[in-house]
A and B are shown apart, each in its own frame.
Chain A
Amino acid sequence: MISLSQTDKAAAPRPLASAVTATLIVVIPIALALLCFAARLHIIELSHAVRAELLFALLIALMATGMPISIALGLSVLTYLFILSDVDPKMVGLKLFTSLDRFEIMAIPFFILAGNFLTTGGVARRMIDFATSLIGHWYGGLGLAGVIACALFAAISGSSVATVVGIGSIMLPALLQNGYPPRFGAGVIATSGALGILFPPSINLVIYAVATSGMQPHGPDGAVVDSASVGQLFMAGVVPGLMLATMLGATTWYRAWRNDYPRMQRSNWPQCWRAFRESFWGLFLIVLVLGGIYSGLFTPTEAAAVAAVYAFVIAVFVYKGLRVREVPAVLLKAASMSAMILYIITNAAVFSWLLTSEQIPQSMAGWMTAQGFGTVVFLLVTNIVLLAAGNFMDPAAIVLIMAPILFPMAATLGVNAVHLGILMVVNMEVGLCHPPVGLNLYVASGITGMGIAELTVAVLPWLATMLIFLVMVTYIPAISLWLPHILGML
């Protein structure tokens, strides 16, 4: 990735090459659509497999033009339906409504809203104070406190970006003030912020549950395999989240110890207690959401709605970080972010409905078993594909497109749906921390003013830690499955 961003700088776009590429970008999707049309008019005959490949080729070609992923998904489905199949295209319009017409999906806007209230509401600062009072006196104390604060904040907000914005915008200036090098601070926060999508509540885990729900693939023994519920996934995310936080913390500590970075003064117990009491209202949200879901008090969607209202109350009335007249702006921001994700969800739902009705994942799974691929190879290929996709696409879009394809294949091999979900999310975390689309890097760059190329180098030690963690999560299913298992949820 580093080499890529450096060649970016070195090679100025040549006018001719640019013109040729631009022409190709526009001509290829049109040519593919014409190819479909030719097949319709029986000028050329296409086999079933070629049609499926044509669908994917069209999707990739459309996405390459830089149009919204949701539009590319919808347009390729529409072309396919109109031209290559006998399904009534009017169904697409209905499908765009009914795919959203489900109460579980509403957890996503609720969690986004809660996250937006929390980032603006002074919760982050109190969590940072609490974490600093606990371990600030260790080597790299403030950096470690950053990891812990990110983990705590991740446990109340469902997104990485909210975590990096919430913690980073306070923590990064503090780190610089206390004499830490900018690279160290940016590296810690940009990577720890990714914990946001692993720790429950996680918007990406909800998206995974939504993308696979209702699918009924067959397991290795021929029995129908259930998809994972949001509750199961949330509980499964706890242990991996704690592990990754510990590993990132260890990396932080090691680098601080070797370079002898400054330590904070040890806080006494009354100070710790006061910091805890101050941050209590924020921390209580963790208990409310996780406890509520686990005890069966709330469904995940209800927990999300309660979290949103609770976050509003503590932001406006308890911590007073947000004024009442600023609330409409927060609502609007949360609404447009949710609408963007929901729009991808609707179009991805139509896409996966088409895949299912054309039996594409099943035939891919069949091909895989025919080749004699085992679980080990499948998981390896899955990781490589997801990491590669992380170079181009937003995590939500990747999960929505890949989960319906991967889940039936995983089921055929006996890979647990919950394990697959956690694995996908850890892959997305890695993608968030490296260019060209690593959102966390852009947020960190916005806060520190460092360039993306420099940040790429800055995050390397932590990124390496994450990759080691990814291998562990991939090949030790117990990390994800142990907790839901002993809670009797699996």
Chain B
Amino acid sequence: MIYTVGNTKGGVGKTTLAVNLAIARALAGRDVWLIDGDRQGTAQMAISIRADTGHTPNIACASYPDGVTLRTQVKHQASKFEDIIIDAGGRDSTALRAALVLSDVLIVPFQPRSYDVWALNDMAALIDEARSVRDGLRAFAVLNCADSGDSSIDNKEAAEAVADYPQFEYLAAPIRRRKSFANAAGQGLSVLELKPTDKKAVHELNTLINLLF
């Protein structure tokens, strides 16, 4: 299966989530290929830091900021992997569009903030366009960097706002704003590997993974 973590809006935590998902799947014994479709190459950098520090499992990671190359390479090599996670976007790009064409599942992280909710509109339009050239793209909106606490009004309102966009299914597995996600990602690790363990973060990531995979 091919999964894309994408959003036309930047700063929503795409790369952090993509790196966490890829490593979590590898820890579960899957053959994973992480593709960095962002020109900034942050996911690639995180994985190279992981490799330098000798953490296992190793994650196969490639960087294809150009959509045409991304599409060609994934088509050629997709059969060699069980799970392909593509990190794409931050803006409308050929890489994001190629990922939308290739993916079975699109995961759209968004923060419970007005600007993020507004940006869902752009993403919804792009999904519509992608669906006009292909069939079977599932799109999930996932709250990322959500506020802490189950009673957060902003989380609730942001989740409800997704209902305005029929292009998305809301996935009720919010990832909250926790330093452990950022700290782990900076070392090329998933929160599942971080010591000391952040149990809440681990629980959130596992909940999301159980719903997705």
Mutual binders A and B: no
Question: Which residues of B pack against A, CB within 8 Å?
Answer: none
